[in-house]
Amino acid sequence: MNNFTTRTITGGVYVIAVVSAIMFNPIVLSVFFGLVALVSLYEFYKNSKIKDIFAQNILGFTLAITTYLSFSLKAFEIDNKYAIALSLLLVFLIFIIELYNKKGNPFTNIAYTILGIVYIVIPMGLTNFIVNPSLTTNTFIPILLLSVFILAWCNDTFAYLVGVKFGKNRLFERISPKKSWEGFFGGFVFVQIASIILYKYTNTPLFFFDFMIMGAIVSIIGTYGDLVESMFKRQMGVKDSGNILPGHGGFLDRFDIIFFIIPFIFTYLFLRLN
């Protein structure tokens, strides 16, 4: 099986899994993105070890679970004060435990342990609210979150295609030598077209300009998200974050844009609808 076939099959399974998880019901959505957060965090901690950075895996994953759980419980209108309290205690327990670890660069280890939560787990936790940004009881609007993914996939695809065909001016050569301004603007234009189509053919509480702003967020902030993950891989000296997705690398490689755009999309929708 050649690489193109492998990428195509893996990409198809990935899209089906994401769409199914989002559209099925809030519980499946919450479990799915919780698992995405844990696998991505595993890749983040594993790659950090390459540069002798030793995150506290046990406390890190425990903090990841309690942090994500606090978001999920809030989204389901269940009391989450205990999850929040435990998360706060775990953050400072990480500092104390590091005193007993006999590894170099203790504050770097602490920083990477917590950084993984901020970079990965919090954005995934916010996916629970994108489907109900107005925080209204018994409301589930999966097409909002699915639209974010569709726009992200559109940006990835057309930025690549336009960049390969017309790319001459490097966008951020120090971090990602292949990315071009032509690719960026190609992705931006096609995302705006996709935003118009989504507005016309989906039923949401949003207006035309909301979809245009969401599209702009996806293109601009998503590009930064891609660059940040490239910066991480460049520092660690790896080509892919993992190999769990044949032909596509790891979860960090597939969700790098999503990690960045979800907080911005949530903030915009929350302020817009409340």
Q: Is the pLDDT of residue 270 over 80?
A: yes
Question: Is the model's pLDDT at 2 over the cut of 90?
Answer: no
Q: How confident is the model at residue 4 (pLDDT cuts 50, 70, 90)?
A: low
What are residue 241's phi and psi, to 5 degrees? -75, -20
CA dist 142 and 131 (Å) reads: 5
Give the pLDDT score at 241.
85
- What is the separation of C-alpha 252 from the centre of its chain, rounded to a whole number of angstroms? 8
Buried-exposed string 143-174: b where 16+ CB fall within 10 A, e elsewhere: bbbbbbbbbbbbbbebbbebbeeebeeebbee
Structural domain span for residue 47:
3-273
Length of the chain counted residue by residue: 274
Nearest to 244 by CA among 35, 20, 19: 35
Model pTM?
A: 0.93
- CA pair distance 163, 59, nearest whole angstrom: 42
Q: How confident is the model at residue 252 (pLDDT cuts 50, 70, 90)?
A: very high
d(CA 262, CA 126): 7
- Please state the domain count of the chain: 1
Each residue's pLDDT tens digit, 10-55:
889 999 999 999 999 999 999 999 999 999 999 999 999 999 999 9
Contacts of range 163-171, beta carbons closer than 8 Å, 24 or more positions apart: 171/223
Instruction: Assess contact for 117 and 60: CB atoms under 8 A.
Output: yes
